[in-house]
Structure 1
């Protein structure tokens, strides 16, 4: 089993069609770009030898300076807040790194032109980034190591498919306030109001491992988007707009992270018979250099 482009679309309603999310990774002069985008300077604390401690914008700085927009704000200020919101979404939700509080400077040139954002395949980029971060997490050994990637996507994927510590389905839903087709809910709305589980990390880990070890094929929800709960939702138009891409066997690109989308390995997730043996496509060391 694995997360696929179908899951990204159904859970996050991100476009799969479009240009690859990539650009130059060198970001000279990004401080000046920040002031141009937001109208205020970003004062980065200096480390030893005058080196910057991070190459990006602290999410806490964005929250502190752009948390409230007046109803009568001028258009230029509304645009500044739009830049801040999208940058916070990219760095804090869709493409977080293990640092936790930084939106990388590589996003600044993309965010600068709001009109171009719709041209990119954000769904494939999120999946590429998440695959890469999961791969790197498997190599971490330090007790303080963190996992990165789109945790929201991973969490919803697990809850939709696996019974391990899954919260109960909602029996009723809060009325959705938006009527535009591209602003409607996604399948993740099933868990719109669930109780937060609290447990000691080490104890919870042992419980999760034990439950995972006991899983059998009949315990898996192989087709979560065909359940009665999911079918009862009026979904965002983006969830199925790019359904032709759900089973594409293709590279996924997010800047330096290049991963393969290999749905032929998990055909049961699409309601199809799994071929065996599966075509061998290397996703090892060479891909991750």
Structure 2
């Protein structure tokens, strides 16, 4: 017998609410989009320079690229845009190495990029 979504909801005490989450098609130029969003992010003066080549794997952002956006590299007077990009990078790290680990140990799959971006760009009132 196969458990249904309602069975899992009942057993775990989690509500079935909202729209279903499915795979989002990634555009062919997703790497250029990432460079445009993350390139202008302000960094501390003592932080290593941003290296866009670390994003070169076509399967997804590499761990080396994501680690360029550690919290210690945020500029002290960072604007909301810079903070949201750091949050997006943190979410990619969280998705790729904590929540949805895979056999691709050096990168997070590119299909998770839109989810991290939508969470990072959401208003605080929209996040449950």
State the TM-score bracket (shorter-chain normalisation).
Answer: 0.5 to 0.7
Structure 2 residue 33 is matched with structure 1 residue 33: yes
Return the index of the structure with the highest Cα Rg: 1
Structure 2 residue 93 is matched with structure 1 residue 88: yes
Cα RMSD of the aligned pairs, angstroms, is 3.4
Residue 122 (structure 2) aligns with: 115
Structure in which a larger fraction of residues adopt helix: 2
Secondary structure of residue in 2 paired with 1:61 = helix
Write out per-residue CA displacement over residues 113-172 of structure 1, whole angstroms, 9 at most, x where no aligned residue: 3218x979xxxxxxxxxxxxxxxxxxxxxxxxxxxxxxxxxxxxxxxxxxxxxxxxxxxx
CA separation in 1, counterparts of 2:76 and 2:16? 34
TM-score, normalisation: structure 2: 0.61
Gaps of 5+ in 1: 10-14, 46-51, 121-181, 183-289
**Structure of higher RCO (CA pairs closer than 8 Å, 6+ residues apart):** 1
Over 3 Å counting, the alpha-carbon distance change for 1:43 and 1:26 in structure 2 is same
Gaps of 5+ in 2: 1-7, 40-49
Within-5 A mapping of 1:136-285 = none
CA separation in 2, counterparts of 1:28 and 1:41? 21
TM-score, normalisation: structure 1: 0.30
Residue 62 (structure 1) aligns with: 66
- TM-superposed CA distance for 1:24, in Å, is 3.1
Asked if the contact 2:54/2:64 (under 8 Å) is kept, the reply is: no
